[in-house]
Structure 1
Amino acid sequence: MINRWLFTQVDNSSLIIFRVFFGFLIASEAIGAIFTGWVTRTLVEPKFTFNFIGLDFLQPLPGNGMYFYFAIMGIFGLLVMIGFKYRWSMIGYTILWAGVYFMQKASYNNHYYLLLLLCIIMCTLPAGNYFSIDVKQNPLLKKIAMPRWCILVIIAQLWIVYTYASVAKLYPDWLDFTVAKNLMAGKANYPIVGDILQEHWTHVFIAYYGILFDLLIVPLLLWKRTRLAAFCFSVFFHLFNSIVFQIGIFPYLSLAFTVFFFSKERVHHLFMRKKEFYNSKEIIIPSYRKFLLPILTIWFVIQILLPLRHWVIPGDVLWTEEGHRMSWRMMLRGRYGTTNFYAVDKNDPKALQKLINKNDYLSKKQLRLVSAKPDAMWQFAQRIKAEYAAKEKDIAIYVRSKVSINGKKYQTLIDPKVDLASASWNYFTTNPWILKYEEKE
């Protein structure tokens, strides 16, 4: 049963055309990051970046190094698109993208995490076995079929992402349209649609369309009778996100995924008519079978459990942010804060608290991060502590922070009596210096 489900050979047109789309899009992501100024704002201008905690060695290359870094990523993406040294090009892009993802949190985006997962998956798929330079150079690599698991793994990954994104929206601030209203408030100056985005009915539509789309899109695409309608809904949804939220390649990448849902015959007819169509449905058990099943099991257990970790961490994840990342909690809250850091010389009993000028250290984007996110506050305190330690000064750092979630009243986030420079960061449980959120009317 498992062998038939995973290893039945199917036509590979969908994977081949997706590789072309995927390569073009990841190349555009890398090259576009240079020309839109994203690399400059996020990785070149700041004095340091807020990496994932524990990965302090990941810092931007000096000088113009990050421009070359992203240019190489762009080249790898183009090589993936044309299928030249496909496997190595895909692995190269994946490693470099992982570096970018874990290097900085000022521009954290769930879509960046999804791209990382997809890159890892694409490294394992036989996407260079047709319509590629690799095949032209070595015709023995040419294949017109692939095992079914290659499609199933992508569909399963997407189903997990969309389902968690939908379930995460089932909380009061989303259901009473507060989040949608706040999201659209900054779009009032958009030409033509700006005023429409401020209407209450628009907020209602966004809130419930978002829940239903994320929950149902994969099942509706899988069912033949609803597939075309679901595709039309998907086009509207992703183009809306692209225009209103301007989130780069990801709406178009999401549309590219639909090639895995349409019939093999339809995809072949639309994109690869000159290719021989495979329809023999052989079951070929590969030599890697004994490795594939454990690897897929481990992968999907992690994908299912990781987004749930905030349920075993005390406190409201919307407030503490503990367990927020890598959990598909997309556009769920507006988070704003004002935070000041004070240094005290531990060796001087008469020392007064000295206000740290954050502008001397942080870019505008980093200032917003440090003003509202507890992990960034902790990292900034560690950075200041290290700077003073280099001058042979032992300091304590105290934080006074007020944070608002979704426009509600500001509350104190960090215990002002705790020396944050000496506090530890707990990855798998709550950090006691983050104060509890108190519901206020």
Structure 2
Amino acid sequence: MLNQFLFKKIDNAQLVVFRIFYGLLICAEAFGAIATGWVRRTFIEPKFTFSFIGFEWLQPLPGNGMYIYFVVMGIMGILITIGYKYRFSAFTFAFMWAGVYLMQKTSYNNHYYLLMLLGFIMAMFPAHRDVSLDSKLNPDFRSHSMSNYFRWIIILQLFIVYTYASIAKLYGDWLDFSIIEILMSGKKDYYLIGDLLQQKWVHKIIGFFGIFFDLLVVPALLWKPTRNIAFIFSIFFHLFNSIVFQIGIFPYLSLAFIVFFYEPQTIRNIFLKKKKVEIPQEISFPKYSKWIVSALGIYFVIQVLLPLRHHTFPDDVLWTEEGHRLSWRMMLRSRSGNIRFKVVNKENGKSEYVKLNDHLTKKQKRKVACYPDFAWQFAQYLKKEYAKKGEDIQVFAINKVRVNQSKFSEFIDPKVDLANVPWKHFSHNEWIRPSQSD
């Protein structure tokens, strides 16, 4: 029964149209990152970047190399849009975007993770079998159908993202709207809507709408009687996010996903202007169908479990940050902090405090002061820098952090030498102090 559902043939209009949107949007993301100065601020100006721990070998290209890197990604977006050398261009973009994601986390966003997943998913999909240069150059390659599981991979991935985003909001600071007030306080200067965003009643609407939209949008889009209503709410929700939070292409990518929820013929009529196509009725099972089902099962088990891993760590993830990433915990907290790093020479005992301005950008300093992995990585960086001068050092951090509207509390144990303790990926780092109640 499951195999018959997964491998039955359906019209591929949804996937073909989404490929065009996807290519255009990633092209805009790549060239926009250059035009807005994001590449310069993130990869060129910093003396070093905070990569994901374990990927320190993945470093930005020297000089203006990252500009070329993003130009290449933009070109891949164009090739994906027109469907030329699709497999090559899609996999090239997927690997290059994975590099962007892993080589820096100062500008971390859950949506960057989603785009990385989507990049590899789209590279494996037959999205170029129609309305593409590949199919035009090779007519025998053209097809109007695809297996049903391609569509459902996208739908299930979205369901996981939205559901976890909704569940994560069910905590005190969201339910009393205090975190929304904090998030909106930085929008006071917005033209026309700045004052409106400071109103308590607006915070309440945002709070409840955020929970219920994330929880219900995918089921509502799947059910035909509520599909158009959900689509209208989606337009409002994602345009609001685009205007207020300025998060690049991702609100528009989220709207593009909606093509997978409408009937293929509806999509074909609107975007492709083609008459109804004939779809094979017989179910053909690929040679490796069992491997495909097993791979999909493993992938989605991982996607379901990863956002739950913070429950395996002691203390609150809002405080420790352990297990926060890759879990669709979006716009849930505001962190602020202050930190000083004390360097002690092991041989002579001489100590000094590090001038952060000599090493970090303004944004990097904010991250180092608030996030444990950033502080640990900066200590490793200092250890290497002093080793170049022939000094073997210890690094201690005097650090206080505030989450949302809580009081400032000691975050890192000041007696622990961060330069000489390992980072624990799968268990609690004991040098993170327990959270303190108000």
TM-score normalised by L of structure 2: 0.99
Contact 2:265 2:276 in 1 (8 A): no
Task: Please give the per-residue CA displacement for 1:282-305, whole angstroms capped at 9, x wherever unaligned.
Answer: 311112312201110110011000
Alpha-carbon separation, structure 1, partners of 2:52 and 2:225:
44
Q: CA deviation at 1:278?
A: 3.4
CA distance in structure 1 between the aligned counterparts of 2:428 and 2:333, rounded to whole angstroms: 20
What residue in structure 2 maps to residue 92 of structure 1? 92
Change beyond 3 A, Cα 1:275–1:102: farther
Q: Do 1:268 and 1:277's aligned partners in 2 also have CA atoms closer than 8 Å? A: no
**SS at the partner of 2:39?**
helix
Query: Does the 8 A contact of 2:399 with 2:411 survive in 1?
Result: yes
The alpha-carbon deviation at position 279 of structure 1 amounts to 4.2
Q: Which residue of 1 aligns with 2:430?
A: 432
Measured against aligned partners, the alpha-carbon deviations of 1:121-154 in whole angstroms (never above 9, x if no partner) come to 1111100000001011111110000000010000
AA of the residue aligned to 2:63:
G
Q: What letter is aligned with 1:409?
A: K
How far apart are residue 280 of structure 1 and its match?
Answer: 4.3
Where 2:347 maps in the other structure, the secondary structure is coil
Code of the residue aligned with 1:122 in structure 2: it is: M
Structure 1 CA distance for aligned equivalents of residues 431 and 20 of structure 2: 49
Q: How does 1:85-124 map to 2 (within 5 A)?
A: 85-124=85-124
Is it true that 1:309 corresponds to 2:335 in the alignment? no
Letter of the 1:404 counterpart: R
Partner of 1:140: 140
Q: CA RMSD in A?
A: 0.9
**Alignment-derived partner of residue 3 in structure 1:** 3
After superposing on structure 2, the runs of 4+ consecutive aligned residues of structure 1 that deviate more than 4 Å are: none
Q: SS state of the match for residue 333, structure 1? A: coil
Once the two structures are superposed, residues 47-88 of structure 1 have per-residue CA deviations (whole angstroms, 9 ceiling, x without a partner) of 110000011111110001000000000001110000000011
CA distance in 2, matches of 1:282, 1:209: 43
2:375 to 371, 374, 377: 377
| CA distance in structure 1 between the partners assigned to 2:140 and 2:365 by the alignment | 55
Q: What amino acid sits opposite 2:20 in the alignment?
A: V
Give the AA of the match of 1:430.
H
- Give per-residue Cα distances to partners, 1:35-55, cap 9 Å, x unaligned: 100000000100110000011
Offset at 1:3?
2.0
Partner of 2:25: 25
Aligned counterpart, 2:131: 131
Task: Tell me by how many angstroms 1:271 deviates.
Answer: 1.1
Post-superposition shift, 1:265? 1.9
Write the distance in 1 (CA, Å) between the matches of 2:92 and 2:144.
26
- The aligned counterpart of 1:420 is 418
How many residue pairs get aligned? The number is 438
Corresponding residue number in structure 2 for 1:277: 277
Displacement of 1:269 in angstroms is: 1.2
The separation in 2 between residues aligned to 1:200 and 1:279, in whole angstroms, is 53
Determine if contact 1:335/1:403 at 8 Å carries over to the other structure.
Answer: yes
SS of match in other structure, 2:397: strand
Aligned to 1:368: 366
SS across alignment from 1:114 = helix
Q: Which residue is 1:240 aligned to?
A: 240
Separation (CA, whole Å) in 2 of partners of 1:286 and 1:146: 12
Q: Percent identity?
A: 55
Q: Can you list the C-alpha shifts for 1:163-221, whole angstroms capped at 9, x where unaligned?
A: 00000000000000011100100001111111110000011011110000000000000
Query: d(CA) in 1 for partners of 2:98 and 2:50?
Result: 15
Return the match for 2:406 from 405, 408, 415: 408
- Give, as a single letter, the amino acid of the residue that structure 2 aligns with 1:146: M
Query: Secondary structure of the residue that 1:421 maps to in structure 2?
Result: helix
Q: Displacement, 1:276?
A: 4.7
Preserved CA contact (<8 Å) 1:370 1:377 = yes
Query: What are the equivalent positions in structure 2 for 1:53-92 lying under 5 Å apart?
Result: 53-92=53-92
Q: Report the TM-score, using the length of structure 1 for normalisation.
A: 0.98
Aligned partners of 2:105, 2:223: CA distance in 1, in Å? 38
Distance 2:166 2:239 in 1: 19
Between the aligned partners of 1:167 and 1:150, the Cα distance in structure 2 is 26
Secondary structure of 2:22 counterpart: helix
Taking the aligned partners of 2:74 and 2:51, their CA distance within structure 1 comes to 22
**Once the two structures are superposed, what CA deviation does each residue of 1:202-251 show, in whole Å capped at 9, x if it has no partner?**
11011110000000000000000000000000000000000000000000
Q: Give the Cα–Cα distance (whole angstroms) in 1 for the partners of residues 260 and 206 of structure 2.
A: 27
Deviates more, 1:249-258 or 1:275-284: 275-284
Q: Partners of 2:280 and 2:226 in 1: how far apart?
A: 27
Is the counterpart of residue 326 in structure 1 residue 326 in structure 2?
yes
Q: Does 1:359 align with 2:379?
A: no
2:386 alignment partner in structure 1: 388
**Letter of the 1:318 counterpart:** L
Aligned to 2:211: 211
Specify the code of the residue in structure 2 equivalent to 1:378.
W
User: What's the counterpart of residue 176 of structure 2?
Assistant: 176
Check if 1:399 corresponds to 2:392: no
User: Residues of 2 paired with 1:287 and 1:390: CA distance?
Assistant: 57
| 2:155 paired with 1:155 | yes
In 1, Cα distance between equivalents of 2:10 and 2:55: 41
